[in-house]
Chains A and B, each alone.
Chain A
Amino acid sequence: MSYLIRRLEFFGITLWATLTMNFILPRIMPGNPAQAMLVRYHGRVSPQTIKAIEAAFGLNPQGNIFQQYFDYLRNTFTGNFGTSVTFFPSPVGDVIKQGLPWTLGLVGMATIIAFLLGTLIGVLSAWRRGGVFDAILPPVFIVVSAFPYFWLGLLLLLAFALNLGWFPLGFAYDLTDSINLSWSFAGQVVWHGFLPALTIVITSIGGWILTMRNTMITTLAEDYVKMARAKGLSPVRIMFMYAARNAILPNLTGFAMSLGFVISGAILVEIVFNYPGLGFTLLQAVHSEDFALMQTLFLMITLAVLLAVLAADVLTAILDPRTRDQG
Chain B
Amino acid sequence: MAVRVVTDQTPLATAVVVGRQGAARALARALVRNRKALAGLSVFGFFVLVAIFAPLIAPYDPTALAFNQMLQPSRAHLLGTTGIGQDIFSQLVFGTRESLLIALAAGLAATAVSVIVGVSAAYLGGLWDHALNLFTDVFLVLPTLPLMIIVGTYLNNRGLLVLIGVITITGWSYGARQLRSQALSLRNREFLEAARVRGERSAYIIVFEVLPNMTSLIVAIFFGAAVYAVLAAAGLQFIGLGDPSSLSWGTMLYWAQANGALLAGSPVWVLAPGICIAALGAAFALINYAFDEIGNPALRPVRTKK
Contacts and interface: CB of A to CB of B under 8 A. Distances in A.
Q: Do A and B bind each other?
A: yes
Interface of A: 6-7, 9-10, 13-14, 17-18, 25-26, 29-31, 129-131, 134-135, 139, 142-143, 145-151, 154-155, 157-158, 162, 207-208, 210-211, 214-215, 217-218, 249-251, 253-254, 257, 261, 263-264, 267-268, 271, 282-283, 286-287, 289, 291, 294-295, 297-298, 301-302, 305-306, 309, 312-313, 316, 323, 326
Ranked nearest first, the 6 interchain pairs of A and B with the lowest CB-CB distance are A146-B281, A151-B274, A264-B143, A146-B285, A29-B154, A254-B6
Q: Could you tell me the dominant secondary structure of chain B's interface residues?
A: helix
B306 to A, nearest CB: 8
B193 interface: no
18 contacts: A7-B2, A10-B3, A130-B301, A130-B304, A142-B36, A142-B282, A146-B230, A154-B270, A210-B7, A264-B145, A268-B235, A286-B149, A286-B150, A295-B150, A302-B143, A312-B4, A313-B4, A326-B1
Interface in B131-147: 134, 137-138, 141-143, 145-147
A318 B285 CA distance: 34
Interface residues of B, number: 61
Given A10-B134, A142-B286, A154-B262, A214 B10 contact: yes
B151 A286 contact: no
A309 B6 CA distance: 12
A254 B5 CA distance: 6
Interface of B: 1-11, 36, 134, 137-138, 141-143, 145-147, 149-151, 153-156, 227, 230-231, 234-235, 238-241, 253, 257, 262-263, 267, 270-271, 274, 277-278, 281-282, 284-286, 289, 298-299, 301-306
B282 A271 contact: no
Given A250-B4, A254-B5, A162 B262 contact: yes
Nearest to B156: A30
A264 B267 CA distance: 28
A313 B234 CA distance: 33
B141 A309 contact: yes
Contacts of B285: 142-143, 145-146
Nearest to A315: B4
Contacts, number: 174
B153 A289 contact: yes
B262 to A, nearest CB: 6
A158 B154 contact: no
Contact of B8 (A129, A139, A208, A250): A250
Contacts of A26: 154
Contact of B143 (A134, A145, A286, A305): A305
A218 B10 CA distance: 9
B278 A146 contact: yes
Given A134-B301, A250-B4, A139 B153 contact: no
A158 B274 CA distance: 13
Contacts of A162: 262-263
B270 A309 contact: no
Given A14-B141, A313-B4, 7 more contacts: A6-B2, A29-B156, A146-B231, A151-B277, A157-B262, A207-B6, A250-B7
A158 B302 contact: no
B227 A251 contact: no
Contacts of B138: 10, 13-14, 17
B143 A309 contact: no
Contacts of A286: 149-150, 153, 239, 241
B70 to A, nearest CB: 16
Contacts of A264: 143, 145-146
A155 B273 CA distance: 12
A173 to B, nearest CB: 21
A145 B205 CA distance: 37
A151 B3 contact: no
A9 B270 CA distance: 46
A152 B138 CA distance: 30
Given A26-B154, A148-B277, A261 B9 contact: no
